[in-house]
Amino acid sequence: MKVKVGVVGFSFGVDFTSLFNKHPDVEKICVADLKPELAKIEGLNITASGGVSSIEELKELQRMGTHAAILGKALYTGKLDLQRAVALVQKERTL
């Protein structure tokens, strides 16, 4: 059975991620941290979650190199328009 591992705090957890990465039963490693410089690490896919609520924030996350963003509450409350968010991503992919 494969497992997914969550690491909170990359500064402390970096030692563990290399061990988890070598383990044959680890399918995925997810890291939660507040440091934007993590988005610059080659091969590390960063997903922004919690508090993303505007197109401007999505643009900033794109500039930082973020791989994905979770927009559930922003969409549910109407703070973010799904069509505008999708258009932003599609526009960036065609550039």
**Can you give the length of the chain in residues?**
95
Instruction: Report whether 45 contacts 67 (CB < 8 A).
Output: yes
The CA-atom distances, in angstroms, between 83 and each of 1, 47, 55, 89, 91 are 38, 20, 11, 10, 12
Q: For position 40, what pLDDT does the model report?
A: 67
What is the Cα–Cα distance from 68 to 46, expressed in whole angstroms? 7
Residues of the chain with pLDDT under 50: none
Q: For position 14, what pLDDT does the model report?
A: 63
Q: For position 73, what pLDDT does the model report?
A: 87
Q: For position 92, what pLDDT does the model report?
A: 66
What SS3 class is residue 95?
Answer: coil
Q: For position 39, what pLDDT does the model report?
A: 63
- Whole-prediction pTM value? 0.57
Q: For position 48, what pLDDT does the model report?
A: 80
